[in-house]
Amino acid sequence: MRLSHVSIRRPVLATVMSLAILLFGIISFLRLPVREYPDVDPPIISVVTLYRGASPSVIETEITNILEEQFATLEGVKTMTSSSREEGSVITIEFELSRNVDEAANDVRDRVSRIRGTLPREIADPVVSKVDANADAIVWLALSSGQHSGLELTEIADIILKERIQRLPGVGSVIIGGERRYAMRVWLDPLRMAAHGLTTQDVENAVRNGNAEIPSGRVEGQGREFAVRTRGELSRPEEFGAIMSLKKPMTLSGCVTSPK
């Protein structure tokens, strides 16, 4: 009853108190965040493994099944999905919300390193990464031109657009989808390879060893020092044809046929 008595005896004070309550209510209403769902990042881990030249059946039996057996015994696994496609395997593991995403990622890395020796040696090291729910692409820009080819558009997007967009505030990353890069294709002639006793693996090893830049040391003098660089990257078909085979004293041009 004291508040009512004070309000009756002092109407100015009651008016000021009412205005203050109204003002705080308006400020709280404007600044109070409203969310339909809570801001929760689910602990989701993805494991991506690349195996060049392998078919989906080989990917599934040699990589995906082996990794799934190890991940199935992890603590707090809610769901696990996998995709075995050509030259790659993707395994997505969703843990319970009570699991810390960093601890879950460390457990997955430990399991991958434990069985790395049982996986094929030719595969790239499995990449374990945390999936960010807010990392989805929100803007896609399509490039088209009647004068430039797909290779030229890819170069324009990589050199000009990507660099400028990355400088904008709030941009996390820029992905170039559907890009086309310059590549050298080598068509092999099975009859010529059989005549020289070579296999596809021999040709692949010769191309890998003959098309690489390796450090060549340095030259030291009394007052100068030079770094020696061996330029071994090839760019023309004639240079690839001149690569010497390590198994036979011959060039790869004897095993290459013209593309059809």
Q: Which domains does the chain have, with CATH numbers?
A: 44-130 (3.30.70.1430), 137-182 (no CATH), 190-219+227-254 (no CATH)
Residue 251 has what pLDDT? 65
Instruction: Please tell me the distance from the alpha carbon of residue 149 to that of residue 170, in angstroms, as a whole number.
Output: 31
Residue 1 has what pLDDT? 55
Task: Quote the DSSP letter at residue 251.
Answer: B
Residue 248 has what pLDDT? 58
Angle at CA of residue 88, ends 82 and 90, nearest 5°: 25
The distance between the two most distant Cα atoms of the chain, rounded to a whole number of Å, is: 115
Residue 23 has what pLDDT? 92
Place of tokens 């809570």: 38
Instruction: Please tell me the distance from the alpha carbon of residue 195 to that of residue 201, in angstroms, as a whole number.
Output: 16
Residue 141 has what pLDDT? 83
- Are the C-beta atoms of residues 256 and 186 closer than 8 Å to each other? yes
Residue 49 has what pLDDT? 92
Give the distance, in angstroms, between the CA of residue 217 and the centroid of all CA atoms in the same chain. 33
Residue 202 has what pLDDT? 81
Residue 68 has what pLDDT? 92
Instruction: Please tell me the distance from the alpha carbon of residue 185 to that of residue 225, in angstroms, as a whole number.
Output: 39
Instruction: Please tell me the distance from the alpha carbon of residue 167 to that of residue 173, in angstroms, as a whole number.
Output: 10
Q: Which two tokens stand for residue 245?
A: 């085979």
Residue 233 has what pLDDT? 73
Low-confidence ranges of the chain (pLDDT < 50): 260
Residue 9 has what pLDDT? 80
Instruction: Please tell me the distance from the alpha carbon of residue 127 to that of residue 253, in angstroms, as a whole number.
Output: 37
How many C-beta atoms lie closer than 10 Å to residue 213's C-beta? 10
- Rounded alpha-carbon distances, angstroms, from residue 44 to 95, 97, 247: 6, 10, 47
Taken in order 144, 148, 151, 152, the sign of the CA dihedral is negative
Instruction: Please tell me the distance from the alpha carbon of residue 203 to that of residue 26, in angstroms, as a whole number.
Output: 76
Could you tell me the pTM of the whole model? 0.56
